[in-house]
Structure 1
Amino acid sequence: MAAQTNAFNAYKQNSVTTASPGELTLMLYNGCLKFLNKAKQAINEKNIERKNQYIQRSQAIIGELMSTLNMDFEISKQMLPLYEYMNHRLTEANLKNDLAIIDEVEGLVIEFRDTWKEVLKITRQQQFGSTQQV
């Protein structure tokens, strides 16, 4: 069992270290969604400590997404206030144990994630489309 766990952890580490920046962003969105779901579960179980932990992890991911924005692009200037809003709402959700606020933030993260997946898909199609024509 320990060997399997070590192999899985090595695989996860390798997938992160070999991922493109675009894939890393997608991993961040998915990680944020995972922690938001765990926070909601903790609220339902009335486990305040775990709820706090998972909301803070979600906020750390949003902070990472904010820090990686390239402010030379207009879209980044538009996304920054949305990330700040999400972070603020998660603080409120943490204080109030409010599932509806977490659902709201989760909806925004899903939209961002799905849009990002589409961008990656289009980018791959353009890259492979242009190499196949050579």
Structure 2
Amino acid sequence: MIMNKANPYAQYANNKVMSASGPELTLMLYEGAIKFCNRAESAVEKKDIQEAHNNIRKVQNIVTYLRDTLNMSYATAKDFDNIYAYLDRRLVEANLRKDNEILKEINKHLHSVRDTWIGVMKANNVPVPNSYMNNSTAAV
């Protein structure tokens, strides 16, 4: 009988997500968007059109989810909605053109929003995972 052993990294990642607070999950989504944007940039450089498309779509899916789950009862939600709408428009354009300059702009905005979110977490005494305390770059 062959036992199907789960990938330990996948188990760790699943546990990390399942035990995360709402603010931590939002931070993870920003990190994911940055990671996929980095991958899209790399794919465009390599002229790997399908890989670029796939990763741009992943960023779009995250941005769409973030936008769809905004709590509009907060004053800043409209600002985030405007940012997400802009990012979505630029992602469509980047995907159509496979344009790295647009992807770099999007990546810069994603980093800025992620860093702002970390500031919001800190200001509200929400624990920020140690990996984000002195690190403002996302892993690829």
Q: Report the equivalent of 2:137.
A: none
Give the TM-score normalised by structure 1.
0.87
Task: Count residues in correspondence.
Answer: 124
Give the TM-score normalised by structure 2.
0.83
Report which stretch shifted further, 29-38 or 99-108: 99-108
Q: Report the equivalent of 1:112.
A: 113
Gapped runs of 5+ residues in structure 2?
128-140
Provide the alpha-carbon RMSD of the alignment: 1.7
Amino acid at match of 2:115: D
Q: Which has the higher contact order (CA 8 A, sep 6+)?
A: 2
Output the CA distance in 2 between the equivalents of 1:122 and 1:77: 20
Q: Report the equivalent of 2:132.
A: none
How far 1:119 moved relative to its partner?
A: 1.5
SS at 1:72 equivalent: coil
Percentage identity across paired residues of the two chains: 38
Change (3 A) 1:45 1:119: same
Amino acid at match of 2:70: L
What's the CA shift string for 1:52-97, capped at 9, x where partnerless? 0000000000011101110111210121121011011011011111
SS at 2:124 equivalent: helix
Question: Max radius of gyration: which structure?
Answer: 1
